[in-house]
Amino acid sequence: MSGEASEPTIVLFRRDLRVDDNAALAAAADRGAPVVALYVLDEEAHDTRAMGAASRWWLHHSLAALGHRLGHAGARLYLTRGPTCEVVAKAIAASGADCVFWNRRYDPADAAVDAGLKAELRKKGLTAQSFDGALLHEPSLLKTGSGGFYKVYTPFWKAMVDKPHVRDPIDPPGSIDGWRGKLDNLRLNALELLPTNPDWAHGLRETWRPGEEGAHARLREFIEYGLAHYERQRDFPSQLSTSRLSPHLAFGEITPFQILAHLRRSKSSGASKFRSEIGWREFSYHLLFHNADLAKSNFRPEFDAMPWRDDKRMLRSWQRGLTGYPIVDAGMRELWHMGWMHNRVRMIVASFLIKDLMIDWRQGEKWFWDTLVDADAANNPASWQWVAGSGADAAPYFRIFNPVLQGEKFDPRGEYVRRHIPEIGALPDRYIHRPWEAPAALLKEGNIELGKTYPTPVVDHGAARDRALILYQSIKDAV
């Protein structure tokens, strides 16, 4: 310990559930005074979006892991719920703390809460300080030549890559002098984050290990076995070829600084591609920081005139993985089972909802928000708007994925589809992405009755594509 402060320091934890590379925690430990580690579940902040069910499941387990890790280092994690300013005021009154540290958040709604907190604390003569950690860049500082924010990924990433140095991860405190007094502390179960009736989380439990240790194990495994093949295989959903770090990043169990430090040590050819995907996350946050309404409003206002269809039956068939297009259904069932979906398939299912069913991208974004363990305030809406064409650096409007051809290209042997849709598993590769073309004898042999055991397609893709092109062209013409 280098400092000699005597009053306790409060460290707020939110989406930075880690001990390593935690600038706020390291600075607090360095002050030399007792540390009050405080998690605040603030669901009342104006404009803050309520967390989805899969994220809540993750949060429960991530908090448990953080509690253990802090406990080993000497600090107790206090769990609280309520408006951030009120909870912090109570913690100050109980502990006598004169200093509050936290790591910065970049969702404008969260950032507003933190700005209010900072102002209030400073007004009372207390020290309030925020630190970096979630992003490699500060969205308020990275500007285009004309002083605005970036709307296109390539120049954004070039500006970032051209930056001379990304800092090294910050070492965890050797030990923490944890404050041990009495606070309004909830038991983890009292936060009511887990599903109970029904308990739908068995697939999540099978798949994930939330927490810092799980995140680092995942990174090590990916660097050892996945990185070299990443560029070539990352589009094939049947293979475990991507890192699956997204929920760990979303909850701040690992930082981009830590990932980049590992990549710097790696000689693998996949490193540059992987780094640029981390760059897409930075770009999404850059967009969100400058567009608070990213999940609510079209980035391109001309899309406000799009005549989306309000078709609840179709929306439900998409959500349940019952559209009759195997690659779409496999993706939606993967999502339901494990709270995650492969990126290529996310693009296919999103294109299908928006362009084949002509359902507003916000409906899809909302479903993902509820069901993804990596549901992210920036990546999710930015990606949905990208697929819809309404986003900043969006996909061209005439790009409408053909779900059959996408399936045949990226799941050529149907392994991904068979994993998630066993009821059509007996079909040979030739028909696995187009079961409606299979001869009757083959269907019978595989116990498949289209329309009963597996749906017939809910729309004809060719006709749906023509309809979408006309509507998209009309939006484009109106500009």
Q: Which is nearer to ligand FAD, 134 or 193 (CB)?
A: 134
Which among 358, 430, 340, 366 is positioned nearest to 400, based on CA atoms? 358
Least spacing, CB of residue 363 vs ligand FAD, in Å: 12
Q: Which is nearer to ligand FAD, 327 or 387 (CB)?
A: 387
Least spacing, CB of residue 56 vs ligand FAD, in Å: 15
Q: Which residues of 153-181 are buried (b: 16+ CB within 10 A; e: fewer)?
A: beebbeebeeeeeeeebbebbeebbbbee
Least spacing, CB of residue 357 vs ligand FAD, in Å: 14
* 243 annotated as belonging to a binding site for a ligand: yes
Q: Which two tokens stand for residue 466?
A: 């023509």
* 246 annotated as belonging to a binding site for a ligand: yes
Tell me how far CA of residue 11 lies from CA of 23, 43, 119, 384, 476, in angstroms: 10, 19, 17, 34, 49
Q: Which two tokens stand for residue 68?
A: 């253990």
Least spacing, CB of residue 78 vs ligand FAD, in Å: 28
Q: Which two tokens stand for residue 296?
A: 């609510």
For residue 148, which amino acid is it? G
Q: What is the DSSP string of 25-81?
A: HHHHHHHTS-EEEEEEE---STTPPPPPHHHHHHHHHHHHHHHHHHHHHT-PEEEEE
Q: Which is nearer to ligand FAD, 111 or 254 (CB)?
A: 254
Please work out, in degrees rounded to the nearest 5, the angle formed at the alpha carbon of residue 108 by the alpha carbons of 353 and 479.
Answer: 50
- Which active-site residues does the annotation give? 277, 280, 308, 343, 361, 384
Q: Which is nearer to ligand FAD, 49 or 467 (CB)?
A: 49
Q: Which is nearer to ligand FAD, 177 or 393 (CB)?
A: 393
Sign of the C-alpha dihedral computed for residues 429, 434, 436 and 439 taken in this order: negative
* 375 annotated as belonging to a binding site for a ligand: yes
What is the contact surface with ligand FAD in residues (CB under 6 A)? 234, 242-246, 249-250, 277-278, 280-281, 284, 343, 346-347, 350, 368, 372, 374-376, 379-380, 383-384, 387
What's CA 299's distance to the chain center, in Å?
20
Least spacing, CB of residue 118 vs ligand FAD, in Å: 28
Backbone angles phi and psi of 181, in degrees to 5 = -75, -170
Q: Which is nearer to ligand FAD, 98 or 235 (CB)?
A: 235
For residue 136, which amino acid is it? L
Whether 302 and 478 have beta carbons less than 8 Å apart is answered as yes
99-103 and 77-81 strand pairing? unpaired
Least spacing, CB of residue 12 vs ligand FAD, in Å: 23
Please give the biggest Cα pair distance in the chain: 81
Residue numbers belonging to the annotated binding site:
230, 242-246, 274, 374-376
Residue numbers belonging to the annotated binding site for FAD:
230, 242-246, 274, 374-376
